[in-house]
Amino acid sequence: MKALLWTLLALSSAVGAQSSDETRIDLTGKLIAPPCTPRFPSTQEVNLGAVNLNQLADDSAAATEVPLVFECQAGSQVSLTLAAGQGSIGTHTLLTSRPGLGLRLELLNRNVKAELSLGETGTWPVTNQPLELTLQVKPVSVGTLPDAGSYSALLLMQITYR
């Protein structure tokens, strides 16, 4: 009986050791360049300089311009969404780290105001020339006049190319 059991075990092991069918799948592809390349770094620090508290009080602080230039293939388009990293007041003003101080944003397309609010997406078709957007950033008083001192703010941009 023991010999029969060993024989059955040996046969079942031999059946399990038979080779199986082999399948091979070859995968190929092609990497292509995106339709647009920004001419600015993905992370930038912009120094807005010193602003006098009196300029905040009478809303006469100068705006700082930040160029956003995209080199694109003709027929493509750029979509851009701006988001406030530390919150916002209204649709065009970022909150800063200093209470009472905000940064008003305007986006220009070749010096023409582009109607783009925080959280909304704007889309621009690209022809044979680079897409030249300009972000204008202006310190403004929000509520009571802030105390003097340094500040920071964060603007996030989501960019999509098609």
* Percent residues over pLDDT 90 in the chain: 75
Q: In this structure, what token pair is assigned to residue 57?
A: 């009080």
Interatomic CA distance for residues 32 and 60, integer angstroms? 47
Residue pLDDT, tens place only, 132-149: 999 999 999 998 999 999
pLDDT digits (tens, 9 = 90+) for 10-44: 445 545 555 678 899 999 999 988 899 999 998 99
Each residue's pLDDT tens digit, 103-137? 999 999 988 898 899 999 999 999 888 999 999 99
Report all structural domains of the chain as residue ranges with CATH numbers, in order of start. Answer: 52-161 (2.60.40.1090)
User: Count of alpha carbons within 13 Å of 5, Cβ hemisphere only?
Assistant: 2
Q: Are 80 and 109 in contact (CB under 8 A)?
A: no
pLDDT higher than threshold 90 for residue 152: yes
On the question of pLDDT at 159 being above 60, the answer is: yes
What's the whole-model pTM score? Answer: 0.77
Nearest to 104 by CA among 58, 71, 142: 142
